C-alpha cells in the first residue's frame, strides 16, 4: 500500500457506502446493529489500550491492537452496509433538546468517520514502514478522530436501539 492507494481508498469507501445505501440489497439483517454497535465499543477500548501500550513502549502490542481495531472497523462497515441496505430506516422519535443532541451526535459521527479514513490509513501506513516521525504526527489526529467515531457510534446505538423493529 502507498499514499496513492490510501487516497483512492479514502474516496472509494464513502462513495461505495453512499451508493450501496441507495439500492435495496437482498437479505434480512435486522439484528446487525446489536452486533456492530458493540464492535464500536470494543474498538474504543482497543484504541485506548493501544495508546497505553505505545506510551509504555510496547510497540508490538500497540501494532497488534491497531491491526485488530482496523479489522473490526472493516467488519463494522460491512455489517453497517448490510443492515442499512436491507432494512427500513429507523427514525429517532425524540423531541426537543434530546432530538437535536441525537442528530448532532449522529451527523458528527458520520462526517468525522469519513474524515478519519485517510488519517487512520496514512498513520497506519507510516507506522508499518517505520516512518516514526510522520506516524506520530498523523497518529495524534487519527487517534482522536477514530476514538470519537467509535464512542459516538455506541452513543447513537444507545439512543436508537429501543426503536429498532
For residue range 113-141, list pLDDT tens digits in order.
999 999 999 999 999 999 999 999 999 99
Q: How confident is the model at residue 22 (pLDDT cuts 50, 70, 90)?
A: confident
Closest by CA to 109, choosing from 75, 156, 62, is 156
Task: Give residue 120's Cα distance to chain centre.
Answer: 10
DSSP output for 4-20: HHHHHHHHHHHHHHHHH
What is the mean predicted confidence (pLDDT) over 94-123? 96
Q: What is the mean pLDDT of the chain?
A: 95
pLDDT higher than 70, residue 165 = no
* Domain spans in the chain, listed from the N-terminal domain onward: 28-163
With a cut of 70, say whether residue 18 has pLDDT above it: yes
> CA-CA distance, 76 to 90, in Å (whole number)?
18
Between 19 and 146, the higher pLDDT residue: 146
Per-position b or e across 6-20, b if 16+ CB within 10 A of its CB: beeebeebeeebeee
The DSSP element (H or E) to which 92 belongs, if any, is: none
Which cell numbers hold the place of 65? 491492537
- C-alpha grid cell, residue 16: 461505495
Q: What is the tens place of the pLDDT at every residue in 33-77?
A: 999 999 999 999 999 999 999 999 999 999 999 999 999 999 999
Cα Rg, the chain, nearest whole Å? 17
Phi first, then psi: give them for residue 99, nearest 5 degrees: -65, -45
Predicted TM-score (pTM) of the model is 0.92
Amino acid at each position: 500500500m502507498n499514499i496513492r492507494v490510501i487516497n483512492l481508498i479514502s474516496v472509494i469507501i464513502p462513495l461505495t457506502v453512499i451508493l450501496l445505501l441507495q439500492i435495496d440489497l437482498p437479505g434480512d439483517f435486522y439484528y446487525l446493529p446489536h452486533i456492530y454497535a458493540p464492535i464500536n465499543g470494543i474498538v474504543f477500548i482497543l484504541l485506548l489500550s493501544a495508546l497505553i501500550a505505545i506510551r509504555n513502549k510496547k510497540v508490538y502490542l500497540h501494532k497488534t491492537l491497531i491491526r485488530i481495531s482496523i479489522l473490526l472497523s472493516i467488519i463494522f462497515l460491512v455489517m453497517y452496509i448490510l443492515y442499512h441496505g436491507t432494512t427500513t430506516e429507523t427514525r429517532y422519535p425524540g423531541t426537543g433538546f434530546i432530538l437535536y443532541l441525537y442528530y448532532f451526535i449522529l451527523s458528527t459521527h458520520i462526517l468525522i468517520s469519513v474524515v478519519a479514513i485517510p488519517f487512520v490509513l496514512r498513520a497506519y501506513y507510516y507506522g508499518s514502514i517505520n516512518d516514526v516521525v510522520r506516524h506520530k504526527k498523523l497518529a495524534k489526529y487519527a487517534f482522536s478522530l477514530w476514538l470519537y467515531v467509535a464512542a459516538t457510534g455506541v452513543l447513537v446505538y444507545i439512543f436508537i436501539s429501543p426503536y429498532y423493529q
